[in-house]
Structure 1
Amino acid sequence: MSVWGKLFTAVRGGANEAAETVADKQALRILDQEIRDAENSLRKARSDLAGIMASNKRLSRKIEEAREKEQRDTESARAALQAGREDLARGLADRISGLRQEIHRDEGELERMQASQGQMMRAIQDTEHRLQQMRREVENVKANESLIKAQSAIAHSQSGVNSKLGNAMDSLERIRKRQDETRGRIEAGAELAALESGSDLDRQLAEAGIGGSRSSSADDVLAQIMGESKPAIGQSRDPLGIERKDN
């Protein structure tokens, strides 16, 4: 195949794909129109069937009337024979023969038309049943299509919400990291300042119980007073507080 032939085939393929895409998007509209076309054809078929049924009735009445006329002519022919009028009887016999031929022909036509009528009735009933089934299926398809659109909208909305929530969580995480970094800088700055002022060393000595100010709790103060108030060996105080030596 030449290059131009391949290009033409590719263009035709693209056109078919585009047409199928349009058909898919308009599927429900096309299906509704096809159902309307089928309903119009069905109405036309019903009208044609009504015409056939009317013709059959007319032909049936014609046959019935011909049979009644045949019966009357037969009785008249018998009466003519009884009256000795063979000529009249022969004339009636000729007319009866023509009537019988006409009845036979009309009965054959009526039989064919009745068969056609039956076929059309069955076809119309089958078409009506199929149309009813198709209408129900179309309603189900439309309901499913509406449901799918709603679900797609919800999914799209949820996707957007999830995306926004994800962005918000990322922002929160960045804020936490920035706060942790800031808190770390502050603590590091405080430690550096303590090292520069020597307070950190004093804190470490106090924690080790080395140096620093002694405890000045009430118990310590009381113990100190009691220690200072003990008399020296060989000395005692009288109740007036005068020292005296013991012999």
Structure 2
Amino acid sequence: MSVWGKLFTAVRGGVNEAAENVADTQALRILDQEIRDAETALRKARSDLAGIMASNKSLQRRVDEARAKERKDTESARAALQAGREDLARGLADRIAKTRAEATRDEAELQTLSARQQQMIKAVQDTEQRIQQMRREVENVKANESLIKAQSAIASSQSGINSKLGNAMDSLERIRKKQDMQRGRLEAGAELAALESGSDLDRQLLEAGIGGQSQSADDVLAQIMGTNSTPALPGQKDPLGLERPKDS
């Protein structure tokens, strides 16, 4: 296939795809219009059916009246024959023949219209069922469409929320790292200041028990009670700061 042929096929495929997308987008509107068209056809069919049923009833009345007239004329003809009036009986016989012919013609037409009436009744019933089915399908499609839109909106919103939460967590982690860095700098600054002032060395000496002058209450009490193992020399101050008297 030539390049132009491939290009034409691609364009034609794009047009068909665009047409299908438009049709899918307008699917619900098309279904609603099809239902309205079916309902219009159904109303027309009902009107035609009503006309056929009226014609059938009129023909049935004519047939019934013709058969009743035939029976009456037959009885009258018999009575005329019994009375010796053959002329009257012949006239009645002629009228009976015409009545029978009309009744036979009406009965044939009635049979045709009755068959058509049954077909129309079935067509109307089938159309009503089809419309009801289409209505249910449209309602289901609309419900599914609404559900899909709601789910899509929720998914989109959830995606946005997750993205925002992710950004917030990243920001929070950055803040924590900055705080840890600032805290480390402050601690390092304090350590450097202690080293410069010599307080850190004093703290280390106290922790090692060297050069400390502080005593606990238990130590002082032991000294007062004379339980200290090293007695103070004459003229030397005791641990309480009192000078011991010299021997005379």
For Structure 1 versus Structure 2, the TM-score category normalised by the shorter chain is 0.7 to 0.9
Aligned partner letter, 1:101: A
Partners in 1 of 2:67 and 2:11 — Cα distance?
72
- TM-score w.r.t. structure 2 length? 0.80
Partners in 1 of 2:48 and 2:112 — Cα distance?
16
Deviation of the 1:43 alpha carbon: 0.6
In structure 2, the CA distance between the partners of 1:192 and 1:77, relative to structure 1 (3 Å rule), is same
Deviation of the 1:36 alpha carbon: 1.1
Partners in 1 of 2:81 and 2:13 — Cα distance?
88
Query: Residue in 1 aligned with 2:63?
Result: 63
SS in 2 for 1:213: coil
Query: Residue in 1 aligned with 2:172?
Result: 172
- TM-score w.r.t. structure 1 length? 0.81
Q: For residues 181-229 of structure 1, what are the alpha-carbon distances to aligned partners after superposition, in whole Å with 9 as ceiling and x for unaligned?
A: 111122223333333444433333332233x333344454566675555
Deviation of the 1:231 alpha carbon: 6.9
Contact 2:234–2:247 (Cα < 8 Å) also in 1: no
Query: How many positions carry a matched residue from both structures?
Result: 235
SS in 1 for 2:212: coil
Aligned partner letter, 1:81: L
Kindly report the root-mean-square deviation, in angstroms, between the aligned alpha carbons of the 2 structures: 2.8
Deviation of the 1:32 alpha carbon: 1.2
Which sits farther off after the overlay, 119-128 or 44-53? 119-128
Partners in 2 of 1:30 and 1:120 — Cα distance?
27
Aligned partner letter, 1:179: Q
Query: Residue in 2 aligned with 1:237?
Result: none
Query: Residue in 1 aligned with 2:10?
Result: 10
Contact 2:59–2:106 (Cα < 8 Å) also in 1: yes
Query: Residue in 2 aligned with 1:188?
Result: 188
Unaligned runs of 5+ in 2: 236-244
Identity fraction in percent: 78
Aligned partner letter, 2:27: A
Query: Residue in 1 aligned with 2:242?
Result: none
In structure 2, the CA distance between the partners of 1:146 and 1:94, relative to structure 1 (3 Å rule), is same
The equivalences for 1:24-63 within 5 A come to: 24-63=24-63
Which sits farther off after the overlay, 187-196 or 57-66? 187-196
Q: For residues 127-184 of structure 1, what are the alpha-carbon distances to aligned partners after superposition, in whole Å with 9 as ceiling and x for unaligned?
A: 2123223323323332333233233323322222222122111111110011111111
Query: Residue in 2 aligned with 1:236?
Result: none
Aligned partner letter, 1:214: Q
